[in-house]
Amino acid sequence: MGRFCKCNGRLLCMCMLPCMMTCHLLIYIAVSIFVTISYSPPKINLHYVAPGVTANSSALSSHPRGPFWNLRLEDSALWNQLQHVWDRRHNPLLRGNRTGLLKPNAKTPDAEDECVSDCESHKCSVPAMLDFSSLPEHMKAFVTAMHCREYPLLINQPSMCRRNNSSADLDTPMLLIAVKSQVGNFENRQAIRETWGRAGFVKGETSRKGGLVRTVFLLGRQDSSTGPHPDLKNLLDLENQKYQDILQWDFRDSFFNLTLKDLLFWSWLQKHCPTAVFVFKGDDDVFVRTGALLDYLHKEWEEHSLWRAYTNESQMNLIVGDVINNAMPNREPSTKYYIPERFYQGVYPPYAGGGGVVYSGSLALRLKEVSAKVRLFPIDDVYLGMCLHKLGLSPRHHPGFLTFDLPAAERWNTCAYKSVLMVHRRSPKEMLALWKQLQDLSSQC
Ligand SMILES: *[C@@H]1O[C@H](CO)[C@@H](O)[C@H](O)[C@H]1NC(C)=O
Ligand SMILES: *[C@@H]1O[C@H](CO)[C@@H](O)[C@H](O)[C@H]1NC(C)=O
Ligand SMILES: *[C@@H]1O[C@H](CO)[C@@H](O)[C@H](O)[C@H]1NC(C)=O
Ligand SMILES: *[C@@H]1O[C@H](CO)[C@@H](O)[C@H](O)[C@H]1NC(C)=O
Ligand SMILES: *[C@@H]1O[C@H](CO)[C@@H](O)[C@H](O)[C@H]1NC(C)=O
Ligand SMILES: *[C@@H]1O[C@H](CO)[C@@H](O)[C@H](O)[C@H]1NC(C)=O
């Protein structure tokens, strides 16, 4: 009896085991299917909402908005649509048949390439966009000219980085300061020249090192042909004769055209000053503690040199500033930053606030290359974020970059500036006063 039972039990076991395993497998499959079906993309955590954003502007991710083999073009936002076409053109897996990608009324890609420099051409008409006529004027102006990204230089500084005026012998500035300015802002430029933007050898604040600093001002055109502007051309020529630090391009200097200053500056840098180790790009109403910034950059450079000794990685991809993550486009039509949903959908990639940002010269050259694959976007700091995203990089946050200024009570407290690298915003008079006040900061605090 006992023997029979034991035998029977084993038999039972042998029968049950496959059954149980199959059951488990089925349960596993069922659970997997359930999980897959009920999966919803993670909620994006908003750190920062651009002023005027509405509660329901949908948070579609900006970059891969679907599988890359998706041939269907989104019919929604103009920028996403145009970028989609370029992404596919530059996708090494898909290069080949482009005809299927374009909408019937779109131009062929080759015609488009001509448009980059031939801004007046009739072939390069406005891209099809829903309700174009109802857009605000500055948005219309941007869309009309957004295919065009090459403008001639009106004022150049070909020898900014040349030693002894010879083309072969390039200087290697530790820091090239590039300041976005406008023709009329003579006072800001002069205050910068006399304070934080002074060109030449600048001492570091704590370490004795310091480095060679060069400064250029980036200008577009502002005269009677671009709006109600007085003609300041002669004054500007005079200023340039004296200081030789102005770069001016032949495009209308407007808020939505600031991205052009980045693009054209990168091209200029590649051609005339590729040896610059670091670049600071900022507005003409910021204040920079240049010495402290040089100390910081020296530290980064030394760390990079150590790293390079181990890894052979010669490129430095540093970019630091006041980093803004998960910002949403501003959907409030009355504001300066308004971006209609018909123009762009998605969250902005991480970017460094535009008041001032520092990047390595080698990164600037990479940005120049990759910008050829990113459609112009009307907000320059977001555009820089998009280019970084395309390179697979993101900016590094540094608490010393104060895009939104110090607390009001601290603004005239000298010691509050000890940890500051850049602060926005200061008038020319304030720059001069602050510069004097912060001269021997390290001994005072
Ligand atoms: C957003 O709100 C507006 C008006 O309140 C509405 O017409 C629109 O359909 C909403 N959009 C979405 C995506 O919910
Ligand atoms: C490209 O695609 C279009 C339409 O999808 C097709 O008519 C054309 O023959 C294709 N060309 C090549 C070279 O495969
Ligand atoms: C520049 O040229 C001068 C004379 O022409 C020479 O004395 C000086 O050494 C040169 N400087 C450099 C850095 O080559
Ligand atoms: C530098 O060279 C250019 C032409 O090559 C000349 O016009 C200019 O006067 C020179 N500048 C100096 C300071 O020698
Ligand atoms: C940008 O500059 C170009 C060339 O001057 C001009 O056609 C276009 O309207 C400008 N865009 C904006 C938004 O001002
Ligand atoms: C690493 O550096 C050495 C010496 O500089 C060079 O010969 C070699 O090609 C480099 N290797 C790589 C993978 O870059």
How many A from CA of 69 to the centre of ligand 1? 30
Query: What ligand 1 atom has the least distance to the C-alpha of 57?
Result: 13
Q: Please indicate whether residue 99, judged by its CB atom, sits closer than 6 Å to ligand 2.
A: yes
Contact, 266 vs 372, CB < 8 A?
no
Ligand nearest to the CA of 95: 2
Query: What per-residue confidence (pLDDT) applies to 42?
Result: 46
Query: What ligand 4 atom has the least distance to the C-alpha of 159?
Result: 1
Query: What ligand 4 atom has the least distance to the C-alpha of 165?
Result: 1
Contact, 180 vs 285, CB < 8 A?
no
Nearest CA to ligand 4 atom 2: 165
In the chain the domains, ranked by start, together with CATH numbers, are 78-130 (no CATH), 153-222+234-444 (3.90.550.50)
How many A from CA of 375 to the centre of ligand 2? 25
Element of type H or E holding 216: strand 211-221
Which one-letter amino acid corresponds to residue 104?
A: P
- Give the residue from 263, 252, 193, 247 showing the smallest Cα distance to 222: 252
Q: Please indicate whether residue 145, judged by its CB atom, sits closer than 6 Å to ligand 5.
A: yes
How many A from CA of 312 to the centre of ligand 6? 6
Structure-token pair, residue 334: 């009355």
Query: What per-residue confidence (pLDDT) applies to 31?
Result: 85
How many A from CA of 314 to the centre of ligand 6? 10
| Residue whose structure tokens are 């004795």 | 208
Contact, 66 vs 87, CB < 8 A?
no
Written as tens digits, the pLDDT of the chain (445 aa) is: 445 555 577 777 777 888 888 989 999 988 887 776 665 554 444 444 443 333 333 333 344 444 444 445 556 788 988 888 888 777 766 655 554 444 444 444 444 566 777 777 666 666 667 688 888 999 999 998 888 999 999 999 999 998 877 767 788 999 999 999 999 999 999 999 999 999 999 999 887 789 999 999 999 999 998 889 999 999 999 999 999 999 999 999 999 999 999 999 999 999 999 999 999 999 999 999 999 999 999 999 999 999 888 887 778 999 999 999 999 999 999 999 999 988 998 999 999 997 999 999 999 999 999 999 999 999 999 999 999 999 999 999 999 999 999 999 998 899 999 999 999 999 999 999 999 999 888 788 8
Ligand nearest to the CA of 345: 1
Element of type H or E holding 353: none
Nearest CA to ligand 3 atom 4: 164
Nearest CA to ligand 5 atom 9: 141
Which phi and psi angles does 215 have, rounded to 5°? -130, 135
Contact, 220 vs 249, CB < 8 A?
yes
Residue to probe by mutation, ligand 1, list 53, 54, 56, most atoms within 8 Å of CB = 56
Query: What per-residue confidence (pLDDT) applies to 50?
Result: 43
Query: What per-residue confidence (pLDDT) applies to 379?
Result: 96
